[in-house]
Structure 1
Amino acid sequence: MTYHPDGQRSAAQQALHTVAEQGPDDEALHTLAESRVLLPDPDPVEEAAEPPRPQALSLPVVEQGDGTRLVPVFTSADRLEQVFPEIRHYNAVSLGDLARGWPSDGPSLVIDAGAPEEMALTAQGVRDLLATA
């Protein structure tokens, strides 16, 4: 489990723990929506001499053997590295902003895959639970 240097879970990790233990909780979902998460970036853009122009964020979609499509996000670099040790780059985004722009027919979202508090949401669940929190 990933802890802050002072031995405590991050606010996002504590919120995930609360939801995993007690089910949907308005305060925990609000904390998650305001938290920054890390999106793995397997193909980072090379740094250019001039600042890049703003562009749409590309979601790292993983397809499982059964055809299920999901986007993994992580509450810490340590948790990301546990699942994807080969990925060294990521994009930090607000989970609520990500949820508000989530496509209605999009993939599922998995927060902290492999952790005891892992949370998986369908595309509609992302929009319902996080975008409104």
Structure 2
Amino acid sequence: METPAHDDLPTPAQQALDALAVNAEDQAALDTLAHSDVLVPVPDDALDGDGAEPTTVALPVLEQSDGDQVVPVFTSEGTMADLLPFVSRYRLIPLGALASQWPADDLSLAIDGSSEHGLTLTSQGVRTLLAR
């Protein structure tokens, strides 16, 4: 009998996303999410090393069909590979730290994008709910 693949088990962040799908005010789930590390895709054309500041991260921004701009982050490598198969590199960043420095403009955050766990927050929602 084969043991199930590790990626089949939902991460704590994915469990929190599922809880928030049922109750958007679930404080325990928001806390779990804020303290979870997320994978932030690094475009292959991003500069390496020399000039990069280790405490800053370039946010990948995707423009949606309605013109809204969204930053995709992911709770697991498997989810990122499913939704963005062309991305091979990422940085692991605590979501709360990312949220605390979130830009003030109308930039949304998509956690696990269009997956079954997906959650998209407005710029205000990111700063209000996740900046811990």
Could you state the TM-score of these two structures normalised by the residue count of structure 1?
0.86
TM-superposed CA distance for 1:103, in Å, is 1.2
* Mapped pair 1:93 → 2:93: yes
Alignment of 1:34-53 (within 5 A): 34-42=35-43, 43-46=45-48, 53=53
CA 40–22 in structure 1, closer or farther in 2 if over 3 Å, else same: same
SS at match of 1:71: strand
Change (3 A) 1:33 1:55: closer
For 1:74-118, what per-residue CA distance to the aligned partner results, in whole angstroms no more than 9, with x for missing partners?
000110111110110011100000000001214100000121121
Q: Does 98-107 or 86-95 show the bigger shift? A: 98-107
In structure 2, the residue matched to 1:61 is: 61
**Aligned residues: CA RMSD:** 2.2
Identify the residue that residue 84 of structure 1 maps to in structure 2.
84
Deviation at 1:7?
4.9
Q: Secondary structure at the match of 1:108?
A: strand
C-alpha change, 1:82 and 1:14, in structure 2 (3 Å) is same
Name the counterpart of 2:109: 109
Runs of 4 or more, structure 1, over 6 Å off, are none
The residue identity in structure 2 corresponding to 1:67 is: G
List gaps (5 residues or longer) in structure 1: none
Give % identity. 43
Are 2:37 and 2:93, in contact at CA under 8 Å, matched by a contact in 1? yes
